Amino acid sequence: MPTVLQLTDVSVVRDGSPVVDSVSWTVDSDERWVVLGPNGAGKTTILQIAAAQTHPSSGSAEILGEDLGKSDLFDLRPRIGFASTTLARRIPPKETVLDVVLTAAYSVTGRWNEEYENVDVRRAQRVLDEWKLGHLADRTFGGLSDGEQKRVQIARSVMTDPELLLLDEPAASLDLGAREELLRMLGGYASSKGSPAIIMVTHHVEEIPQGFTHALLLAQGRIVASGPLDEVVTGTALSDTFGLDLAVTESDGRFTARAH
């Protein structure tokens, strides 16, 4: 399987301190990773490197076969889907749901004429339908519920058919019903034919969708454990990561953690 992300001894220094510290990590195209770790562990920073938004202070990053330091970011970024709260804050609240998803295509095609308009509009509508948002296409983004906004962000990030999909806490702030619906949709998407490699950051093992394959555990910028889900999402490794005594149970591909 081709490698979509290869970090080799990557460190990121902020204000004189390493916030990512000697991380080496490989993600292949048929893998779907969850990244877990306490606040400030460096999860978002690593995702920003994978999104070609941040450069390492040292070490090397290869994304979709391109060396991050040497390639044209404007060619690379459209091949990567990225959804995060920081990006969502930049969406004008008055923008329609259809436009939020549709504008993801501009950065790829970089042009706008009748022919592309029709193709892109049809694709945006299809993506909205897939994420059960078709009936909201004409509503404004700012008027949606948190759960609907999260789904729109994901729909936008998959609009360009990315080769690598990055999701930073997609289920944060959702109520139980909205969380479960999102996880079901993410699990279905992850398991569908032709789905890209996915890296999803979360705070909760309960938010690992079915169909995910691997986990990276981070604490203080360093890797605590990485590998297949069932080997890594264990009481021992999570206890080391979060610094408290945790027990983990798994049932039907879903995980639960609680303190002893």
Ligand X SMILES: Nc1ncnc2c1ncn2[C@@H]1O[C@H](COP(=O)(O)OP(=O)(O)OP(=O)(O)O)[C@@H](O)[C@H]1O
Residue 42 makes contact with ligand X by CB under 6 A: yes
Question: Residue 85's binding partner, choosing from Mg ion, ligand X, none, with beta-carbon cut-off 5 to 8 A by kind?
Answer: none
Closer residue to ligand X, CB minimum distance, 80 or 97? 80
Six-digit token pair at 56? 């390492």
Q: Alpha-carbon distance 131 to 99, whole Å?
A: 15
**Of all residues in this chain, which one has the CB nearest to Mg ion in the complex?**
44
Interface pick for ligand X out of 4, 41, 182, 233 (rule CB under 6 A): 41
Closer residue to ligand X, CB minimum distance, 144 or 216? 216
Place of tokens 């994978």: 50
Q: Alpha-carbon distance 131 to 154, whole Å?
A: 8
Q: Where does this chain touch Mg ion (CB under 5 A) — which range of 42-50, 85-93, 115-123, 135-143?
A: 42-50
Closer residue to ligand X, CB minimum distance, 46 or 128? 46
Interface pick for ligand X out of 24, 26, 40, 256 (rule CB under 6 A): 40
- Cβ-contact 252, 183 below 8 angstroms: no
Backbone angles phi and psi of 143, in degrees to 5:
-90, 0
Residue 164: exposure state from Cβ atoms within 10 A (0-12, 13-18, ≥19): buried
Interface pick for ligand X out of 45, 160, 202, 234 (rule CB under 6 A): 45
Q: Alpha-carbon distance 153 to 158, whole Å?
A: 9
Interface residues toward ligand X, by CB under 6 A: 14-15, 19, 37, 39-45
